[in-house]
C-alpha cells in the first residue's frame, strides 16, 4: 500500500506528493518543521511540538494557514490513514510558491505537508553500550544571524557537522556555539552528569529547546534527581562522569566516548540508565 501524505488539506499518494520547484522552502530553505513520534497510537507531546512549530513560524514571520487544532487533526488523520501505531511524523510549513528572488512577498500562500513513516532507530544493544561522539568544527547559528531556537529548514551547518561525524566513524557530533561553549548535537540535545547532578546547556547557549529534553528535565524533577541548566565548556564534557543525548529519534542515548576520550567507566552510567527506564515508562503511560 502506498503511503498517504497530507498535502495542503488533502491526503495524496506518496508518488503524487509534490511541491513546485519554485517553492521558497526548496529554493531558500524558507520554512519550518517538526519531527514528532507516535507511540502506541498516540502523538507524543503533541502540544509541545506544535507550540514550537508555531513559535518558529512566528519568529520568521510565516503565518501557518491552519490553526494548531487543525494541524493536530491533520497529523492524526495522516498516520491513521497509513495504519501506523508506532511511527515518526514530519510536519513542514514552507513559505510557498514564489519566483526567483528572496522577497517573501512573492510567495502568495504557505504550503503545509505532513509525512508519517517508519524511522531507523538505534538497535537495543547500542543503548546498552553507548555511542562515541566528536566535537564538530561547525558551530550552531549565531543568535544575531538566525536564532538557533528556530527549527527552520536551514540545517546546513548541522548537515556539515554530521558529515564530520560520518568521516570520524561516529553517529553524532557535538556542536559548540559562537563563544566556544557547548550547544547541542546535530540532531540531539546533550546532558552530562557530574556526581549526582544532571547538567545541560541553557537556552542562551545556542540550543534548540528539545521536546525530549524538556521531558527528561521534568522526569528529573518528578523523581528528585538534581538537574540544572548551565553553560558547559568542552572541558566539562571531558571530565563528565556520564553523558547522554536526547531527541525525538534517539530518545535517550548514552555517550561513552568524546573525541576519543572515555567518559566515566566507558559504559552507560547509573543515572543515564535510570533516565532511560523512566523515559520508556513515560512514553507508554
- Domain borders along the chain are 4-117, 124-284
pLDDT recorded at residue 221: 98
In CATH, the architecture of 124-284 is: Alpha-Beta Barrel (3.20)
Q: Which three cell numbers stand for residue 199?
A: 547538567
What is the rounded average pLDDT for all residues in the chain?
A: 96
Beta strand residue intervals within 105-248, DSSP E? 111-117, 131-135, 172-176, 182-185, 189-194, 197-200, 227-229, 242-247
In 233-256, which positions are buried (b, 16+ CB within 10 angstroms) versus exposed (e)? eeebbeebbbbbbbbbebbbbbbb
| Residue 30 confidence (pLDDT) above 90 | yes
The CATH number given to 4-117 is 3.30.470.10
Average the pLDDT over 111-137 and give the result: 94
pLDDT recorded at residue 284: 80
| Residue 5 confidence (pLDDT) above 90 | yes
Distance in angstroms (rounded) separating the CA atoms of residues 173 and 193: 18
Same topology between domain 4-117 and domain 124-284: no
| Residue 285 confidence (pLDDT) above 80 | no
Q: Beta strands 227-229 and 4-7: pairing type?
A: unpaired
Share of the chain above pLDDT 90, in %: 94
Give the 3-state secondary structure of residue 267.
coil
Q: Which three cell numbers stand for residue 254?
A: 548514552
pLDDT in tens, 46-81: 999 999 999 999 999 999 999 999 999 999 999 999
Residue 39 burial class via C-beta count within 10 angstroms: exposed 0-12, middle 13-18, buried 19 and up: middle
**Cα 4 vs. chain centroid, distance in angstroms?**
23
Q: Which of 285, 207, 281 is nearest to 246 (CA)?
A: 207
Q: Which three cell numbers stand for residue 140?
A: 550552531
pLDDT band at 271; cut points 50, 70, 90: very high
The catalytic position among 151, 162, 214, 273 is: 151
Q: Among this protein's residues, is 42 annotated catalytic?
A: no
pLDDT recorded at residue 195: 96
Average the pLDDT over 253-270 and give the result: 97
pLDDT recorded at residue 1: 65
Amino acid at each position: 500500500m502506498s503511503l498517504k501524505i497530507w498535502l495542503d488539506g488533502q491526503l495524496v499518494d506518496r508518488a503524487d506528493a509534490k511541491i513546485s520547484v519554485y517553492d521558497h522552502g526548496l529554493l531558500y530553505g524558507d520554512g519550518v518543521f517538526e519531527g514528532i513520534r507516535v507511540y502506541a497510537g498516540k502523538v507524543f507531546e503533541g502540544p509541545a511540538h506544535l507550540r514550537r512549530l508555531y513559535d518558529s513560524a512566528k519568529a520568521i514571520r510565516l503565518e501557518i494557514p491552519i490553526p494548531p487544532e487543525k494541524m493536530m487533526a491533520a497529523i492524526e488523520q495522516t498516520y491513521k490513514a497509513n495504519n501506523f501505531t508506532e511511527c515518526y511524523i514530519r510536519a513542514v510549513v514552507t513559505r510557498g510558491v514564489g519566483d526567483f528572488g528572496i522577497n517573501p512577498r512573492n510567495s502568495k500562500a504557505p504550503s503545509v505537508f505532513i509525512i508519517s513513516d517508519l524511522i531507523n532507530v538505534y538497535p537495543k544493544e547500542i543503548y546498552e553500550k553507548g555511542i562515541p561522539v566528536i566535537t564538530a568544527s561547525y558551530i550552531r547559528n549565531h543568535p544575531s544571524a538566525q536564532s538557533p531556537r528556530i527549527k527552520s529548514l536551514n540545517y546546513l551547518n548541522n548537515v556539515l557537522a554530521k558529515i564530520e561525524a560520518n568521516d570520524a566513524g561516529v553517529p553524532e557530533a557535538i556542536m559548540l556555539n559562537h563563544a566556544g561553549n557547548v550547544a547541542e548535537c546535530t540532531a540531539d540535545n546533550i546532558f552530562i552528569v557530574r556526581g549526582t547532578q544532571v547538567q545541560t546547556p541553557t537556552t542562551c547557549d545556542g540550543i534548540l529547546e528539545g521536546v525530549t529534553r524538556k521531558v527528561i528535565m521534568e522526569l528529573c524533577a518528578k523523581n528528585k534527581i538534581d538537574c540544572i541548566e548551565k553553560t558547559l565548556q568542552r572541558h566539562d564534557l571531558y571530565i563528565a562522569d556520564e553523558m547522554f543525548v536526547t531527541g525525538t529519534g534517539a530518545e535517550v542515548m548514552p555517550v561513552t566516548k568524546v573525541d576519543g576520550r572515555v567518559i566515566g567507566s566507558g559504559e552507560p552510567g547509573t543515572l543515564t540508565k535510570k533516565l532511560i527506564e523512566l523515559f520508556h515508562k513515560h512514553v507508554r503511560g
